[in-house]
Amino acid sequence: MTDTLPTHDDVRRAAERIRPVAVVTPLIESALLNEELGGRLLIKCEMLQKTGSFKFRGAYNRISMIPEAERKKGVVAFSSGNHAQGVAAAAKLLDTPACLIMPSDAPAMKIANTRAFGGEVILYDRFKDSREEIGAKLSRERGSTLVKPYDDPGIIAGQGTIGLEIAAQAKAMGIVPDAVLAACSGGGLVTGVALGLSADLPGTTVHSVEPAGLDDMARSLASGKLERNDPAARTICDALMAPTPGDITFAVARQRVKSGFAVTDAEVKKAMAAAFRHFKVVIEPGGATTLAAVLTGKAPIKGRTVVVVASGGNVDAALFQEALAQA
């Protein structure tokens, strides 16, 4: 597999691969919240995807592209949790052994679910160890295929199927979104969504949303070069802590992502509570960043139609309860 940039056609091919197994997640809205905001806000509910996050899409697409003889040797992946779950579940469906390298401080739910899907879990210290080095070493030793979390054309194309669905659902509702917001860590989701939207909604702008202090994509888009996060930066958005955008994802983002927003942990908690109150859904911190960007006014919505991708719902109960209590 080459590192050439993925295209809209790659996204369409990915949609064919995942159609038999993936969920077409709904696009929902709240009349009361729309009235309060003075615009139309729709949530793409990827927390209802298999494994509780969008990551299943890219994982299944990428693993299914591995030649069968190679696939039997297994796959290795590193992830804070959602990619790990997606890879474990996709590998199980494709009868492929999966080894997942996860940070020891990942949410307990994500670790437990990854094991429940049949994945072998190896824990590491995200602040001291290099998951890339561990993954490369295991891949060499086992002869397995390394399935990267974001900087891979097959992964990006799989995530891009969300964009295809948004475009089709918006058309069925008779609307043309002004903007679509997607959470960003390494950039696989936001660039995939942008590719998926590009043919049917070329006038819709796409924006990344990241935790404050970890907004490397926003800063990279502004400067035109890859920017890195401070290794000391921390956030409750465990899924959004990549140190810098990927080479492939940044190349796509420079062409198709207009700008980025950053939100604080406090704003994220308020958004998690608002999602529960207005939409009756559970969104994990990283997935609530997009809603937070709208609720805080950082992403304008008055007089506009905005779609936010709620990328996942895998949050430990204690943190979710804390968000509700603080709201």
Prediction pTM value: 0.95
> Could you give the domains of the chain?
8-54+154-326 (3.40.50.1100), 56-150 (3.40.50.1100)
Q: What is the pLDDT of residue 62?
A: 98
pLDDT tens across 181-219, in order?
A: 999 999 999 999 999 999 999 999 999 999 999 999 999
Q: How far is residue 134's CA from residue 121's CA, in Å, rounded to a whole number?
A: 12
Q: Where are the alpha helices (DSSP H) in the chain?
A: 8-18, 31-37, 55-64, 68-71, 82-93, 108-116, 131-142, 153-159, 161-173, 188-197, 216-223, 247-256, 265-279, 285-295, 317-326
**What is the DSSP code string of 125-155?**
-TTTS-HHHHHHHHHHHHTPEE--SSSSHHH
Q: What is the pLDDT of residue 52?
A: 96
Q: Give mean pLDDT, residues 64-90.
A: 95
Q: How far is residue 65's CA from residue 249's CA, in Å, rounded to a whole number?
A: 19
Q: What is the pLDDT of residue 1?
A: 37
SS3 label, residue 225: coil
Q: Is the dihedral of CA 323, 276, 278, 43 positive or negative?
A: positive
Q: What is the pLDDT of residue 81?
A: 86
Q: How far is residue 192's CA from residue 156's CA, in Å, rounded to a whole number?
A: 5
**How many residues comprise the chain?**
327
Q: What is the pLDDT of residue 53?
A: 97
pLDDT category of residue 113 using cuts at 50, 70 and 90: very high
pLDDT tens across 281-311, in order?
A: 999 999 999 999 999 999 999 999 999 999 9
Q: What is the pLDDT of residue 2?
A: 41
- Is the pLDDT score of 3 beyond 80? no
Q: Give mean pLDDT, residues 158-164.
A: 98
Q: Give mean pLDDT, residues 72-93.
A: 94
Mean pLDDT of the chain: 96
CA nearest neighbour of 155 among 55, 12, 77, 267: 55
- Is the pLDDT score of 126 beyond 90? no
Tell me which DSSP letter residue 53 carries.
B
Q: Give mean pLDDT, residues 137-153.
A: 95
Q: Give mean pLDDT, residues 219-238.
A: 96
- Is the pLDDT score of 161 beyond 70? yes
pLDDT tens across 27-50, in order?
A: 999 999 999 999 999 999 999 999
The fraction of the chain above a pLDDT of 70, given in percent, is 99
